[in-house]
């Protein structure tokens, strides 16, 4: 195996230092004893060390080329190119017609370059740049920030060469390009706005979000610890120094990160750097990793942070942009609707047999979810004033007023109350409530008002309804959607409006007028789950 050596029964890690790094590292080889006699353990340790050493070589290379070197390199390119073009013009004089064609040609070239300024303009340009670097024996990592910087400045230099030569074809030799050369990589340019450590950018970003109140309690409680973890994984360096390899390394760690790491005895007290080493060596491969949704949520946070850095001029390229892992399963496959037998079990379980109701939310919330398609969290946060009559029809007003929160903008909506709920006595219950909120037992937590009900419903569901892992109380919303979809006369856009889903079609989504309360009510009246709820009548306990 590469870098793994065995001498006198002991294993060693040995790596040759590349020639271009000899003078920088002041050595020709890196050697380290691996304190194990077991081959399998040695291989795992060497895999980690190999990755770290290769990464270190890449990082060192990325900072070899100074701004002064880049200026000198580009000045030589401009001088050489202009001299070559001028010599060719002298050696091969053109007639007036050919001369005019060449001016037109250079007008076109300049226009082409100006439209693509900031990038390597053609494949030939990139080949030319790499040949020049090779001829100068300049080693630059193509994934580094130096190479990206050089690409941008080289594009500017190519443009300048063509502009100057175009003027010379017109007989104008007074165009001095010293000013252009002095503007190459100016010290006050955006790319050098300030040397900012990653930790400083994180602190600025968190402060801005806090001042602007863009995070609720849940966002802050999840995001701030994540950035602390991210900083420890990536290391605290200048924000400009992070490149594509760093984010690839981070992604590789994230997809293997153990779920509930701090709740497991084996990893609870381990420092994060030790956990990362264990992940890299594959020693935590038996642990269930965090979900793909969580990984992608973390990628969004990283992209937002580096997007902030780019916006404020600390970096020129956001390499975190577009980071995402595709889910193998569709979102609607994560949960399944209850079967008819499940629904029968649920609505004949103890909660629906008791005479006196100490916990009315346990009786009503599953019924409301099944006959309105609302999310559990939306129902748990309802106030008494959110139950209102619109166009003569009792409705649920789902909004983000007071201390309530909605998942998306389209989640704000009015949903008619099903005749089934009215028959069971929902409006009678609402009238009997003497407090502001509909469910006084549910207190607000970090995730809203649903945490207590969700915790109870999970245990209750497993005990009385089903052991199926994909069937939980939120499955009732899936039952609602699936049941209405089976009614061929109900438009899908109407169903989406009832349940708070966005309508993808531009025609309906942007310009279409919403359905009336009567339209929604008529659709909800068509629900039929094949179950008998005639035995249900909510007992109102007055006084």
C-alpha 296/C-alpha 165 separation (Å) is: 50
What are the Cα distances from residue 1, in Å, to 26, 124, 268?
26, 39, 33
Do 389 and 395 contact (CB within 8 A), yes or no?
yes
- Could you give the CA distance from residue 178 to residue 212 in angstroms, rounded to a whole number? 46
Whole-number Cα distances in Å, 336 to 178, 333, 476, 479, 527: 70, 7, 9, 8, 18
Whole-angstrom distance, CA of residue 323 vs CA of residue 307: 12
Q: Three-state DSSP class for 430?
A: helix
What residues does each domain of the chain span?
4-48, 67-186, 198-311, 340-525
Instruction: Supply φ then ψ for residue 4, to 5 degrees.
Output: -100, 125
What is the reported pLDDT for 457? 93
d(CA 14, CA 30): 6
Give me 494's structure tokens: 């109407």
Tell me the C-alpha to C-alpha distance, in Å, between residue 38 and each of 12, 41, 281, 334: 12, 6, 15, 43
Spell out the alpha helix ranges (H) of 136-216: 145-169, 178-182, 198-211
pLDDT value of position 527: 94
The distance in angstroms from the start CA to the end CA of the chain is 80
**Structure-token pair, residue 273:** 């750097």
Q: Which of 193, 188, 123, 179 is nearest to 151 (CA)?
A: 123
Per the CB < 8 A criterion, the answer to whether 493 and 512 are in contact is yes
pLDDT in tens, 225-270: 889 889 888 888 888 888 888 888 888 888 888 888 777 777 777 7
Q: What is the pLDDT of residue 385?
A: 93
- Residue 146 and residue 132: Cα distance in Å, rounded? 15
Q: Which residues of the chain have pLDDT under 50?
A: 117-121, 186-193, 330-333, 505-512, 541-543
Kindly report, residue by residue over 279-299, the tens digit of the pLDDT. 777 777 778 888 888 888 999
CA distance 402 to 431: 21
**CATH of range 340-525; options 1.10.1660.10, 1.10.443.10, 3.40.50.620, 2.60.40.420:** 1.10.443.10
pLDDT value for 186: 47
């Amino acid at each position: 195996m590469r870098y793994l050596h065995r001498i006198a029964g002991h294993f060693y890690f040995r790596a040759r230092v590349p020639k271009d790094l000899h003078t920088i590292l002041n050595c020709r080889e890196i050697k380290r004893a691996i304190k194990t006699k077991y081959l399998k353990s040695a291989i795992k340790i060497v895999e980690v060390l190999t990755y770290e050493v290769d990464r270190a070589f890449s990082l060192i290379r990325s900072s070899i080329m100074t701004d002064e070197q880049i200026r000198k390199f580009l000045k030589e390119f401009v001088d050489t190119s202009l001299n070559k073009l001028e010599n060719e013009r002298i050696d091969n004089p053109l007639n007036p017609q050919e001369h005019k064609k060449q001016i037109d040609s250079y007008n076109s070239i300049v226009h082409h370059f100006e439209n693509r300024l900031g990038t390597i303009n053609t494949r030939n340009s990139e080949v030319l740049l790499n040949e020049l670097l090779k001829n100068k024996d300049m080693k630059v990592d193509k994934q580094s920030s130096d190479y990206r910087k050089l690409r941008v400045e080289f594009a500017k230099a190519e443009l300048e060469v063509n502009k100057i030569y175009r003027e010379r074809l017109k007989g104008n030799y007074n165009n001095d390009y010293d000013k252009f050369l002095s503007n190459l990589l100016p010290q006050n340019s955006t790319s050098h706005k300030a040397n900012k450590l990653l930790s400083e950018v994180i602190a600025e970003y968190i402060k801005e979000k806090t001042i602007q109140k863009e995070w609720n309690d849940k966002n802050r409680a999840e995001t701030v610890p994540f950035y602390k973890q991210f900083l420890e994984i990536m290391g605290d360096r200048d924000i400009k120094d992070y490149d594509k390899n760093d984010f690839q390394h981070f992604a590789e760690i994230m997809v293997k990160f153990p779920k509930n790491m701090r709740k497991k005895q084996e990893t609870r007290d381990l420092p994060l750097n030790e956990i990362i080493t264990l992940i890299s060596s594959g020693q935590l491969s038996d642990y269930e990793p965090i979900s793909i949704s969580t990984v992608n949520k973390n990628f969004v946070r990283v992209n937002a942070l580096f997007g902030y850095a780019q916006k404020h001029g600390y970096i020129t390229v956001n390499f975190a942009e577009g980071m995402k892992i595709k889910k193998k399963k569709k979102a609607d496959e994560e949960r399944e609707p209850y079967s008819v037998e499940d629904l029968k079990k649920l609505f004949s379980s103890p909660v629906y047999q008791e005479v006196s109701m100490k916990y009315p939310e346990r009786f009503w919330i599953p019924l409301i979810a099944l006959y309105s398609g609302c999310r559990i969290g939306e129902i748990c946060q309802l106030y008494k004033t959110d139950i209102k009559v619109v166009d003569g029809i009792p409705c649920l007003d789902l909004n983000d007023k007071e201390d309530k929160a909605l998942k998306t903008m389209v989640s704000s909506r009015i949903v008619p109350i099903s005749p089934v709920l009215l028959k069971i006595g929902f409006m009678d219950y609402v009238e009997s409530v003497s407090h502001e909120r509909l469910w006084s037992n549910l207190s607000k937590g970090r995730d809203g008002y649903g945490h207590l009900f969700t915790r109870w419903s999970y245990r209750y569901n497993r005990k009385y309804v089903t052991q199926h892992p994909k069937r939980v109380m939120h499955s009732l919303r899936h039952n609602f959607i699936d049941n209405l979809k089976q009614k061929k006369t109900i438009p899908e856009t109407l169903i989406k409006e009832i349940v708070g889903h966005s309508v993808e079609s531009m025609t309906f989504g942007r310009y279409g007028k919403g359905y009336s309360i009567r339209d929604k009510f008529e659709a909800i009246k068509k629900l039929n789950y094949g179950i008998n709820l005639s035995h249900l009548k909510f007992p109102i306990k007055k006084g």
